[in-house]
Amino acid sequence: MSDIQQQLLTSADFLAITRQFPDALPETFTVHLTHPTSGLQTLMSVLDTGVISFEPVDQFTDSDIVLSSAVHGNETAPIEICQQLIAQIIKGELALKQRVLFLFGNPASINIGERFVEENLNRLFSGAHSDGEGLCNKERHRALALENYVRDFFDQGATIAGERTRFHYDLHTAIRGSKNDKFAVYPFLHGKPRNKQQLQFLLSCGINTILLSHSPTTTFSYFSANEFNAHAFTVELGKVMPFGENNMANFSNCKNALTLLLTAQDLGLAEFDESDFNIYEIFKTINRETEDFYLTFAEDAENFTDYPLDHVLAVDGAIEHKVTVPGEAIIFPNAHVAIGQRALLTVIPCNID
């Protein structure tokens, strides 16, 4: 057995190995894990740095689950949640009953504690990695590779007899605080109905704010929803903190819900009731068009803060971007983006479609 296999089996710390080899592992490998009490086997496949799958052997499964984190490298809480789940599976503390693929999206950016190294990975999916200048940086190569790992994982699941359900939760934390601490972006489904059970699942994760996207995007969750008909969400679990400074109690609902999903236990979901949720839709996308761009609100204004009608939100050279609808609120502001990039979204309350 090689050093790296030995290291993984003794430490169960796939995150440490990923951080040790941020660009590529010295080798890839598969290992059969035997659960200490049940004797059931799980096939562990280490496919790349930050890419590891677990598949129950000779057991009934009906779900293919992708859990991604570190698509933005400084968003540590989801990385810690996923590392804990991986460790529990390797140590036999979690009796896995479904296929799962874990992805640490951008290992190099984890190591520098930044959102990304050269380019925002979560703008590079659905082929955007190859647009414009093409595969010109590591994030673009990684986006292509991650697409292929997800495709292979779902394709392999499709070879298993019986009806299966695909899931992809792309786990993030927001740069800023949020009036609604945790929220999820529900990608555009091209008119297909939104899944209420999935909203109940998110509620069980502690997420009651849902942002409906009404157009195709280049995010990871849209990629999986659109190309593989997966139940896919960008899940925002709170505010960015350095490693070790996350209050993991804030994430216990989420970790518990994911554990139930992986172990095929009853999720205990209640009937859907829209009044349990704050549902928003994206109203405006404001791109930065000039050098003279600024946002009028405080640097630390929280996501989902709303402003009165006619309030100026952003000034871009001669253009003023104003509130035009009651309840219009800001989300994901970032004045420091490159010209032509998105500096702000606004959202308005809506009903689930």
Q: Which residues bind Zn ion (CB under 5 A)?
A: 72, 75, 172
Active site residue 236: yes
For the chain, the helix, strand and coil percentages under 3-state DSSP, each to the nearest 5: 30, 25, 45
* Minimum distance from residue 226 beta carbon to Zn ion (Å): 19
Give DSSP secondary structure letters for 127-170: TGGGSTT-S-SHHHHHHHHHHHHHHHHHHHHHTSSS--EEEEEE
Distance of alpha carbon 329 from alpha carbon 280, whole angstroms: 9
Crossing angle between the packed helical segments 252-262 and 76-91, to the nearest 10 degrees: 40
Q: Which is nearer to Zn ion, 64 or 236 (CB)?
A: 236
* Minimum distance from residue 42 beta carbon to Zn ion (Å): 29
Q: Which is nearer to Zn ion, 98 or 180 (CB)?
A: 180
Q: Which is nearer to Zn ion, 75 or 147 (CB)?
A: 75
* Minimum distance from residue 211 beta carbon to Zn ion (Å): 14
Q: Which is nearer to Zn ion, 172 or 239 (CB)?
A: 172
Q: Which is nearer to Zn ion, 98 or 246 (CB)?
A: 246
Could you tell me the two tokens for 36? 């200490």
Could you tell me the two tokens for 83? 């590392």
**75 annotated ligand-binding residue:** yes
Token pair 């093409």 in the structure block, residue: 134
* Minimum distance from residue 77 beta carbon to Zn ion (Å): 11
Q: Which is nearer to Zn ion, 240 or 279 (CB)?
A: 240
What are the residues whose beta carbons fall under 8 Å from the beta carbon of 141, sequence distance 6 or more? Answer: 129, 135
Distance of alpha carbon 123 from alpha carbon 261, whole angstroms: 28
Among candidates 53, 44, 8, which has minimal Cα distance to 26? 8
* Minimum distance from residue 236 beta carbon to Zn ion (Å): 7
* Minimum distance from residue 123 beta carbon to Zn ion (Å): 11
CB distance 191 to 182 below 8 Å:
no
* Minimum distance from residue 40 beta carbon to Zn ion (Å): 35
Give DSSP secondary structure letters for 167-226: EEEEEEEESS-BSSSSEEEE---TTPPP-HHHHHHHHHTT--EEEE--S--SSHHHHHHH
With vertex at residue 187, the alpha carbon angle to CA 183 and CA 190, rounded to the nearest 5 degrees, is 150
Q: Which is nearer to Zn ion, 201 or 220 (CB)?
A: 220
Q: Are strands 231-239 and 183-186 parallel, antiparallel or unpaired?
A: antiparallel
**302 annotated ligand-binding residue:** no
**72 annotated ligand-binding residue:** yes
Distance of alpha carbon 200 from alpha carbon 276, whole angstroms: 9
Annotated catalytic residue, options 55, 119, 139, 236: 236
Distance of alpha carbon 157 from alpha carbon 151, whole angstroms: 10
- Which residues does the annotation mark as catalytic? 236
Q: Annotated binding site for Zn(2+): which residue ranges?
A: 72, 75, 172
Q: Annotated binding site: which residue ranges?
A: 72, 75, 172
